[in-house]
Chains A and B, each alone.
Chain A
Amino acid sequence: MGRFQRAVGVVILGTAGLGALLLWIAIRSNGGAAAHAPRRGFVFGVWEVLYDTQAPSSRVLLIATGMALLFAAGVALLERRIATRARRSEDLHRLPLAPRIVMAETRGIYHGPVNVTVLVPAHNEAACIGDTIRSLQAQSHSPERVVVVADNCSDATESIALALGVEVFRTVENTRKKAGALNQVLRELLPVQDENDLVMVMDADTTLDPGFLEAAVRRMTADRALMAIGGLFHGEAGKGLLGQLQRNEYARYAREMKRRRGRVFVLTGTASLFRPRALRAVAAERGHSLPGVPGDVYDTIALTEDNELTLALKSLGGLMISPPDCTVVTEVMATWKALWVQRLRWQRGALENLGAYGLTPQTFRYWAQQLGIGYGVIALSTYLLLMVLMVLSLDHWVWFPFWVGIGAVFAVERTVTVWRAGPQARLLGAMLFPELVYSMFLDIVYVKGIIDISFARTAHWEHKAPAPAAQIQEPERA
């Protein structure tokens, strides 16, 4: 791992810390707020309470509001500008997937209808592979081809797949996990795919909603410059409070995607479709303008290969969307420990990818996002520190009407943003505190990710024993 890659975490948290420090100094030089004694009052004329009307001055309120909105609008505007420039680019060498270039190369030629080949990488997925294949076969537009990429399976994954009438590709001496398995199958598949022969990659523990492929095919037919479509994921039902917390988080992400009109952050590994031209361009650029081994579609070093591939496609100017009608149901973690492992991998992977790509126009949005989370960690921890100090130094509970009001607005925001996810989601959002604890948990994962990457700690990922056999197997016909 390079020095810059190791420094990524420190750069991000350091910048967020510097922002916080500047604010702190500004307040101190301004004299801070003056404290005064709380008053006594009655609620409904019955309960005696202590309350304090202390609230920030209107000037402070205005400046804080202005700063927040300026930052958010600034990031959004810059992101739009960068996207528009890539869209209009005619730079064949730097942005070979830019819409203008793709349009020029495909103008006036009909390459046949859009069809879909689905790749399902699977490592001992006997428990769920059947459901996944059946969800594909039940699609309103069923895929032309389904290939289960069996990676070192020692269970019934392959036989279940063959019995359901789909193809099986068995990896050969793969030690590079999912990314390595996909590279092997893509190396055979891509050379024979025509312009509109889409490749879809989906996880074995994911179930597509019935209209997913129909919507994707419609969009890919209507826009030949569209290079990729990412699924919008919803959490599966069950797994108690922790499951609901994750479902709420995914529901907010889906809402945010809709508000962004589908402009993608990450083409999720759970289910994404690509035009073969896009994957071929990535494989050709690896080792040149993109990190990784020449000829590989996926970078096998990246912990989060889907996030890395998104950055790769964006860096080449590719157009991509996450439309609201392409939804999938994905697994939620059942324990805090499993969630910890999953999120640490995501966080660590996101930071490593940023380190590998550096600060470019295409990665700007992701840097800003990491910076935002870093500042959020500082804001939340100082908030908690303040609460603890207050509790430890007051002999009576004192109510602050201004801050209670602010809490109410946050409760409304938490509820409104998960409204479509149902009554349980709304109830949990309105309670505010469970989601606050969940945010704290994610913040700790974030800090742990930064510490790990800074000290170049290698996480211990399972290495699988390679299996000897080869080639695509035809399904058994009944």
Chain B
Amino acid sequence: MSGPLTQAWGLLLPQSFLGSPVFAVLAAFVAINTVMYLALAIAKILPKVYLSDHLPNGNRRSETRSIHPDRTR
């Protein structure tokens, strides 16, 4: 026998719903988003690398920024 009677059902929806195109698109959409957030999560776990610390920098202060004008640096 075939037809809807033999179809496996979950709590509310037929199991075949999981094979429908809409569900496939939703699943892929969620998958991509989840992976995007995963990448950001991994970036947050890892220690941060400060590129500017390793680059030669001509940006050093040329005069003191202290409130004391006679301070050397």
Verify A413–B35 contact, CB threshold 8 A. no
A107 contact set on B, CB distance < 8 A: 63, 69
The answer for the CA separation of A403 and B37 in the assembled complex, in Å, is 13
Q: A391-B10, A394-B18, A416-B45 are in contact. Are A110 and B68 (CB under 8 A)?
A: yes
**Inter-chain contact A394/B10, CB cutoff 8 Å:** yes
Q: List 21 A-B contacts (CB under 8 A).
A: A31-B24, A33-B27, A64-B32, A64-B36, A65-B35, A69-B39, A107-B63, A110-B67, A195-B67, A224-B65, A379-B37, A389-B26, A392-B12, A393-B10, A393-B15, A406-B34, A409-B38, A410-B38, A410-B41, A412-B45, A417-B44
Kindly state whether residue B5 has any CB partner on chain A within 8 Å.
no
Check A64–B69 contact: CB distance below 8 A. no
Q: Are A386 and B43 in contact (CB under 8 A)?
A: no
* Contact, CB under 8 Å: B23 / A389: yes
Q: A residues within 8 A CB of B19?
A: 35
Which chain B residue has the least Cβ–Cβ distance from A109? B69
Q: Hey, which chain A residues are within 8 Å of B13, CB to CB?
A: 389, 392-393
Interface residues of B in 4-59 (CB under 8 A from A): 8-15, 17-19, 21, 23-45, 48, 50
Determine chain B's interface SS by DSSP, over half rule: helix
Residues of chain B contacted by A223 (CB below 8 angstroms): 65-66
Residues from chain B with a CB closer than 8 A to the CB of A413 are 41-42, 44-45
CB distance from A226 to the nearest CB of B (A): 8
Segment among A22-30, A123-131, A141-149, A171-179 that sits at the interface with chain B: A22-30
List CB contacts (< 8 Å) of A43-83 with chain B.
56, 60-61, 63-65, 67-69, 72
How far, in Å, is B67 (CB) from chain A's closest CB? 5
CA distance A222 to B61 in the complex (A): 13
Give chain B residues whose Cβ lies under 8 Å from the Cβ of A403.
Answer: 34
B9: contacting residue among A68, A220, A395, A410, CB under 8 A:
A395
Task: Known pairs A69-B39, A386-B27, A413-B45; list 18 more (Cβ under 8 Å).
Answer: A23-B33, A32-B28, A35-B23, A56-B32, A60-B31, A60-B32, A64-B33, A65-B35, A69-B40, A106-B67, A195-B67, A379-B34, A379-B36, A379-B37, A392-B13, A393-B15, A395-B15, A417-B45
Complex Cα distance, B29 from A23, in Å, reads: 7
Task: Identify B39's interface contact among A28, A65, A195, CB under 8 A.
Answer: A65
The answer, yes or no, to whether A240 is at the interface (CB within 8 Å) is no
Assess the A68–B10 pair: CB atoms within 8 A.
no
Q: Does A272 contact B (CB under 8 A)?
A: no
Contact residue range for chain B?
Answer: 35 or more
CB nearest neighbor in B for A220:
B67
Q: Is the CB of A64 within 8 A of B35?
A: yes
* Contact (Cβ within 8 A) A383 B30: yes
Interface centre among A64, A225, A393, A409 (most CB of B within 10 A): A393
Q: A27-B28, A393-B12 are in contact. Are A67 and B36 (CB under 8 A)?
A: yes
Instruction: Kindly name the residue among A35, A109, A225 whose own CB sees the greatest number of chain B CB atoms within 10 A.
Output: A35
Smallest CB–CB gap between A4 and chain B, Å?
30
A108-B30 in contact given A35-B18, A68-B36, A391-B10 (Cβ < 8 Å):
no
Select from chain A the residue with minimum beta-carbon distance to B15: A393
The closest CB in chain A to the CB of B8 belongs to A395
Min distance, Cβ B73 to any Cβ of chain A, angstroms: 9
Q: By the criterion CB–CB under 8 Å, are B11 and A391 in contact?
A: yes
Q: Considering the chains assembled together, what is the distance between the CA atoms of A393 and B20 in angstroms?
A: 12
Chain B: CB-nearest residue to A27: B28
The distance from the CB of B53 to the nearest CB of chain A, in whole angstroms, is 10
A20 and B25 CA atoms in complex are apart in Å by 12
Known interface pairs A60-B32, A383-B34, A393-B10. Does A224 touch B27 (Cβ–Cβ under 8 Å)?
no
Q: Smallest distance from the beta carbon of B58 to chain A beta carbons, Å?
A: 13
B10 near A392 (CB under 8 angstroms)?
A: yes
Q: Which residues of A contact B37 (CB under 8 A)?
A: 68, 379, 410
CB-CB under 8 A for A72 and B43, given A33-B24, A382-B29, A394-B15: yes
